[in-house]
């Protein structure tokens, strides 16, 4: 057990096992706020085989963030079904393989960098009463949290960037730039490949091919574009003669 009271570390264990036989099965999927990271949104779009704009309009809502230029996207609960997640039915989660990071982490909650706590009481989650020891690190690996954490770390380089405080928080173009490159990837793909974007930016052919076939590579490119455009980081290269011009942003 961690020295910090109530916290457990990566090498500590906790008892937990979730299955349809529990009376509380899927109750944790109702009346809850599930924040979606850009990687969460990407995986859900691919799982549902839907356009990113359609997914965002039908299944998400935007909350006021701080600073306001940052997108804060949450999964829209189904008010007609007791405010439950739209992807949950009697048999469980229909998008389980692509479920959001917060769902993968349950019943744990991250505290700091490597400490965790149990976020619910056994009275609410009967799975915590199971005689099923789970080592935190192994549990996170089994739940597929590692890849999510790696992608979220790239996004955090933007959200926690020192230059964020200097941005014009009332500039809607900046807000659209971040939102599109992080969440609305089908529109971002059109912006990159169907506008004059590639006439200005020198992107290696190998990277372009990866972006065309893998939305994850497109998302990583989007992060680089944001850091280039907002914080003047040398994550992308302009073609000769394009230096000094305004960075291209969506209208």
Question: Would 205 be classed as within a structural domain?
Answer: yes
The rounded distance, in Å, linking the Cα atoms of 232 and 213 is: 28
Residues 169 and 74 in one domain: no
Question: Would 6 be classed as within a structural domain?
Answer: no
The backbone torsions φ and ψ at residue 84, rounded to the nearest 5 degrees and listed phi first, read -95, 160
* Residue 136 contacts residue 10 (beta carbons within 8 Å): yes
Beta pairing class for 13-15 and 88-89:
unpaired
Number of structural domains in the chain: 2
Residues 32 and 120 in one domain: yes
Residue 110 CA, chain-centre distance (Å), reads 15
Question: Would 136 be classed as within a structural domain?
Answer: yes
Question: Would 153 be classed as within a structural domain?
Answer: no
Residues 140 and 76 in one domain: yes
Res 218: pLDDT = 98
Residues 19 and 133 in one domain: yes
The backbone torsions φ and ψ at residue 186, rounded to the nearest 5 degrees and listed phi first, read -65, -35
Residues 63 and 143 in one domain: yes
113-147 pLDDT per residue, tens: 889 999 999 999 999 999 999 999 999 999 998 88
Give the C-alpha distances (Å, rounded to integers) separating 185 from 108, 133, 243: 30, 40, 26
Residues 54 and 122 in one domain: yes
Residues 144 and 175 in one domain: no
149-202 pLDDT per residue, tens: 889 899 999 999 999 888 876 778 888 999 999 999 999 999 999 999 999 999
Question: Would 75 be classed as within a structural domain?
Answer: yes
Q: Which range among 1-15, 105-119, 133-147, 215-229 shows the weakest confidence by mean pLDDT?
A: 1-15
What's this model's pTM, rounded to 2 decimal places? 0.90
Residues 113 and 142 in one domain: yes
Residues 168 and 128 in one domain: no
Average pLDDT over residues 217-235: 95
Question: Would 239 be classed as within a structural domain?
Answer: no
Helix orientation angle between 52-59 and 185-194, rounded to the nearest 10 degrees: 150
Question: Would 4 be classed as within a structural domain?
Answer: no
Q: Which domain holds residue 74?
A: 13-148
Percentage of residues in the chain having pLDDT higher than 70: 94
Residues 187 and 119 in one domain: no
Residue 182 CA, chain-centre distance (Å), reads 9
pLDDT higher than 90, residue 81? no
Residues 30 and 80 in one domain: yes
pLDDT higher than 90, residue 95? yes
For residue 1, name the pLDDT band (cuts at 50, 70, 90). very low
pLDDT higher than 80, residue 245? no
Res 140: pLDDT = 94
The rounded distance, in Å, linking the Cα atoms of 13 and 134 is: 5
Domain end position, chosen among 117, 148, 179: 148
Res 118: pLDDT = 95
Residues 140 and 182 in one domain: no
Domain end position, chosen among 90, 116, 148: 148
Average pLDDT over residues 45-51: 97
Question: Would 204 be classed as within a structural domain?
Answer: yes
Domain end position, chosen among 148, 176, 200: 148
């Amino acid at each position: 057990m961690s020295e910090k009271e109530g916290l457990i570390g990566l090498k500590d264990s906790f008892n937990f096992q979730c299955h349809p036989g529990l009376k509380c099965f899927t109750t944790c999927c109702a009346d809850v706020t599930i924040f979606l990271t850009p990687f969460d949104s990407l995986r859900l779009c691919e799982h549902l085989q839907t356009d990113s704009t359609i997914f965002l309009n039908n299944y998400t809502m935007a909350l006021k963030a701080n600073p306001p230029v940052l997108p804060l996207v949450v999964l829209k609960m189904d008010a007609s079904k007791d405010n439950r997640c739209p992807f949950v039915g009697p048999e469980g989660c229909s998008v389980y393989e692509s479920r959001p990071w917060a769902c993968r982490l349950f019943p744990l909650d991250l505290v700091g960098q490597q400490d965790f706590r149990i976020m619910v009481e056994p009275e609410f989650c009967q799975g915590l009463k199971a005689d099923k020891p789970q080592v935190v690190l192994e549990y996170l690996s089994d739940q597929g949290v590692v890849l999510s954490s790696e992608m979220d770390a790239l996004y955090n380089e933007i959200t926690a960037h020192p230059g964020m405080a200097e941005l014009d928080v009332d500039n809607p173009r900046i807000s659209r730039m971040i939102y599109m490159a992080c969440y609305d990837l089908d529109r971002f793909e059109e912006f990159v490949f169907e506008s004059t974007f590639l006439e200005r930016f020198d992107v290696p052919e190998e990277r372009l091919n990866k972006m065309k076939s893998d939305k994850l590579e497109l998302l990583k490119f989007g992060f680089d574009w944001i850091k280039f455009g907002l914080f003047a980081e040398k994550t992308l290269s302009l073609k000769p003669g394009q230096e000094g011009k305004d960075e291209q942003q969506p209208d």
